[in-house]
Amino acid sequence: MTFSRYFKASSCCLIGAGFVALAATGSVDAISIVLFTAVFISSWFLDTDRIRQSIPKWLLICISGAWLTFCAVDYRLFTRSLVVTFFHLIIFAAAVKLLTVSKDRDYLLLYLISFAELLATSTLTANIVFAGCFLAFLLSGISTLILFEMRRTHARMQDQTRVQPLVVPRQMRGTGFELFSPFPAGLFSAIVIGIAALILAVAVPVFFLLPRVNWGMYRHPSGKTQFTSGFSDTVELGRIGDIKQSDVVVMRVKTDKPPSEMPLDLKWRGLSFDYYDGRVWKRTDQSRRAVPIQGWYYKLENSTQGTNLIRQTLFLEPMSTDVIFATHKALALSRDVGLLWRDSSDSLYAAKPLTAKLRYSAVSDPIRPDPSNISDLRPIPPEVQKAYTQVPPEDPRIAELAKQVTRSAKDRYGKAQALEKYLRTHYSYSLVLRGTPHSRDPLAMFLFDVQKGHCEYFASAMTIMLRQIGIPARLVNGFRIGEYNAIGNNWTVRQYDAHSWVEAYFPPYGWIEFDPTPPEPEHPRSAFQRVISNLADAIDLWWWDGVVNYDSSKQYQVISALRMTMESFQLGIKGLAARTREKIRTGAASVRSPHLASSLASRWAIWFSCITIAILLMIRPLRRKISGSVRPVLYRRNEKVVATDFYRRAIILLGNQGIMRSYGQTPIEFARSLGNHPAAIPLLSLTHMYNAVRFGAPGSSFNQSEAQAFLHTLRAALNKDASSSL
């Protein structure tokens, strides 16, 4: 690869990294992305210098002025956002410069635009795409700035001294004046990667050790706010059509229990509804009260009924709701949610809709009731009985069906189980909604005509039938447990996991969950798709939790772990020293034995020899002599290495006599600078041989015997000159 092509590729990578990071925020429209991508690709093949010369300067000024005018129109009529309008402006400037880049200042402006795009992205999002773009920007930035300075310095020197170009034609190679022939792209790339690794090696520990200050950054979503299907503030029955499900991730949850110990029917509770008007479920009491704070948690309950508590860490994606999700029955929530509110039906709310990613912890008591502890003799609170037994004027067949299904049950809890089992076994699940549009009673249509539907119909039917037989019940919206990701050790909840179920009141446990919906068909995915999806989710979760949300508590954990590691290391060193002293003491005692004296002497001789060799290798002249003897044997088939070794030995011989080559001299210039010195002729001959192989045509041969003769003549000439001077 030539120098100019490598420089152009590095510059394009630098410019593209900033644009990709900006596009990944979701703040740039698709049209702008497509147009800039087309310009970006075209700039690689076009002669931008010729385009710039063919376009008058006044025309570019007019185009820029027209675009500034359009920005005002864009803000008033289309975007209505200064941020998005600014993005359009810098994308337009970058596109124009890409098509007309010809001078160094054009490249500098493009680099600054890319840096501005990356800086703007850092205030909007910090997802894993941003991390990749930042790494690409770092690598390409290092290489581009180095190459840019080399290119600029060479151009200035070429104007002043008329030196040859960085990359010269083949027929001019071997003269010793060229800098690259050809450009060492592989070596240069390795150097850039090494520099970037050193930068990261210093920056990453500093990042983890700096005090944490929360400026409210990195909280914005990486895309548009999600509107989750199947979850809303109201539940409406009777709509006709097909439900389209989405596999977009809604949340990820980490628990303190392995999947084998987690209940398979676990759900992430959201909203509950108490009033049904025959078509729509609503919440009659929407008043909220603040939840009291106790330490680092919001205290939701004063006591717990079970001991098998579940601790969860939830990572919510941006959603169009202010509902806070947790497993029933939530006992406490961390203060990461901000202000926390609670209504009369135990639903939890944040201070505002979740337009940003949110991470918080929860502790819940998954109630697993013992039927023997539930009795119809236990009274139900009057306020619960009044609020959750309301039924609308409906088809009388629903009440008759509820009584018929529960006729053989002995108590209220048994009746609820009978209704749950009946709906799961006598009806089928379907996302295709059929029936009479705008029917007066969609619930009766589901139970007696269609006999298939989705979770909202099953949950509504069981809730109303429980109320018909005097059991307080309410409908709940939320999400199923989701799919377990073994790579990231978390549960991944997607939009198609949105679900509705039932909560019925049974003293002394209170509200108990029932799910009358039959099992849904699994979403088909190949094993490869599953692995890739799990890996992507695990990486995204690690980045979000381990880097973006790295706070003071995690920093304390890291510092504590480092302190414990250092203490363990110190204890290990002390133990090793104690064992060494004991071995020395034991060895000194055993030396007195004549049988072990000879073996110990041989061991000490071996150790003494190894240490002596190591010390001798540290002496530079001796090391050079050994290297000079070994290298020709190891690289005898590599002509360039052999030629370089002969030339290096000649330079060392001259240096020993005080004849030093300056940094600005080429090999030919140095040989000619000796003038009438006896060593000038053999050195010049050896230099020509070295240049022919080192910088000449590929495959050039090197005559080692002839080079050895020149080197011998050079050594003799130097010895003769040294003796004559004495």
Q: Give the model confidence (pLDDT) of 537-564 as tens digits.
A: 777 777 777 776 666 666 666 777 777 8
Residue 216 lies in a domain: no
Q: Beta strand 428-429 with 452-453: parallel, antiparallel or unpaired?
A: parallel
How far is CA 71 from each of CA 28, 40, 202, 220, 677, rounded to the nearest angstrom? 14, 22, 42, 24, 74
Instruction: Examine the fold and report which residue of 488, 516, 544 is the final residue of a domain before the chain moves on.
Output: 544
pLDDT of residue 130: 83
Q: Which residues contact 378 (CB under 8 A, 6 or more apart)?
A: 507, 508
Q: Are 155 and 137 within one domain?
A: yes
Mean pLDDT score, 12-20: 93
pLDDT band per the 50, 70, 90 thresholds, residue 178: very low
- What pLDDT shows up at residue 219? 41
Same domain, 268 and 335: yes
- The DSSP secondary-structure symbol of 313 reads E
Same domain, 150 and 194: yes
Domain annotation covers residue 684: yes
62 found inside a domain:
yes
What are 157-173's pLDDT values in tens digits?
Answer: 766 655 444 444 544 44
Pull the structure tokens for residue 409: 């049950």
Q: What is the pLDDT of residue 631?
A: 57
The rounded Cα 199 to chain-centroid distance in angstroms is 19
Q: What is the end-to-end Cα distance of the chain in Å, rounded?
A: 54
Give the model's confidence band at 384: pLDDT under 50 very low, under 70 low, under 90 confident, else very high: very high
Tell me: pLDDT of 590 over 50: yes
Is the model more confident about 32 or about 154?
Answer: 32
Separation of alpha carbons 584 and 376, rounded Å? 82
Residue 604's pLDDT band, with cuts at 50, 70 and 90, is low
Average pLDDT over residues 32-60: 90
Beta bridge mates, 476: 272, 501
User: Within its chain, how far is the Cα of 420 from the centroid?
Assistant: 43
Q: Which one of 544, 577, 605 terminates a domain?
A: 544
* Residue 588 reports pLDDT greater than 90: no
The β-bridge relationship of strands 330-334 and 297-299 is: antiparallel
> Scanning the structure block, which residue is given the tokens 């302190």?
563
DSSP letter (8 states) at residue 663: T
For residue 244, CA distances in Å to 418, 428, 432 come to 32, 18, 9
In a domain, 317, yes or no: yes
Comparing 478-492, 494-508, 533-547, 690-704, which segment has the lowest mean pLDDT? 533-547
Domain region containing 696: 621-725
By the 8 A CB rule, do 641 and 631 touch? Answer: yes
Task: List pLDDT tens digits, range 252-310.
Answer: 999 998 888 888 789 999 999 999 988 899 998 889 999 999 888 999 988 888 778 99
Mark whether 203 and 279 lie in a shared domain: no
> In which band, very low, low, confident or very high, does the pLDDT at 177 lie, cut at 50, 70 and 90?
very low
Residue 119 tokens, joined? 């800086």
Q: CA 224: distance to chain centroid?
A: 19
pLDDT computed for residue 229 by the predictor: 44
Q: How confident is the model at residue 82 (pLDDT cuts 50, 70, 90)?
A: confident
Instruction: Give the lowest-confidence range in 57-61, 202-206, 506-510, 607-611.
Output: 607-611
Choosing from 579, 601, 616, the residue where a domain stops is: 616
The pTM assigned to this predicted structure is 0.60
The residues that bridge with 492 in the sheet, in sequence order, are 252, 483
**Confidence at residue 181, expressed as pLDDT on a 0 to 100 scale:** 54
Q: Say whether both 355 and 254 belong to one domain.
A: yes
| Angle between helices 128-161 and 527-543 in degrees, nearest 10 | 70
Evaluate whether residue 42 is within a structural domain. yes
Most confident of 54-63, 244-253, 690-699: 54-63
Residue spans of alpha helices (H) in 283-395? 382-387
What is the number of structural domains in the chain? Answer: 4
Confidence grade of residue 501 (pLDDT, cut at 50, 70, 90): very high
pLDDT of residue 435: 56
Question: Domain check: are 381 and 522 in the same one?
Answer: yes
Instruction: Please give the helix or strand (H or E) that residue 332 lies within, else none.
Output: strand 330-334
Kindly provide the residue ranges of all beta strands, DSSP E only, lying in 473-598, ordered along the sequence. Answer: 473-480, 483-485, 490-494, 498-506, 510-514
pLDDT score for 263:
83
Rounded CA gap, 19 and 117, in Å?
A: 6
How many C-beta atoms lie closer than 10 Å to residue 233's C-beta? 14
Shared domain for 471 and 559, answered yes or no, is no
**Do the Cβ atoms of 449 and 493 come closer than 8 Å?**
no
Indicate whether 80 belongs to any domain: yes
Q: Quote the pLDDT of residue 633.
A: 57
Residue 135 has what pLDDT? 92
- The reported pLDDT for the residue numbered 441 is 85
Asked whether the predicted pLDDT for residue 17 surpasses 90, the reply is: yes
Helix (H, G, I), strand (E, B) or coil at 560: helix
pLDDT of residue 234: 73
Which is it for strands 267-273 and 473-480: parallel, antiparallel or unpaired?
A: antiparallel
Q: Determine contact, residues 619/680, Cβ cutoff 8 Å.
A: no
For residues 610 and 627, membership in a common domain is answered with: no
Identify whether 219 is part of a domain: no
Residue 418 lies in a domain: yes
Average pLDDT, the chain: 82
pLDDT class of 621 with cuts at 50, 70, 90? low
Residues 36 and 157 in one domain: yes
Please list the helix, strand and coil fractions of the chain in percent, rounded to the nearest 5, in that order: 55, 15, 30
| 598, 514: one domain | no
Average the pLDDT over each of 412-426, 551-565, 664-678 and give the range with the smallest value: 551-565
Task: Report CA-CA distances (Å) from 367 to 257, 266, 267, 329, 419.
Answer: 16, 11, 12, 7, 20
Contact 74, 85 (CB under 8 A): yes
Same domain, 189 and 263: no
Q: Is the pLDDT of residue 692 over 80?
A: yes
Banded model confidence at residue 421, pLDDT cuts 50, 70, 90: very high
* Residues 597 and 713 occupy one common structural domain: no
Q: Which ranges in 388-440 belong to alpha helices (H)?
A: 396-405, 412-426
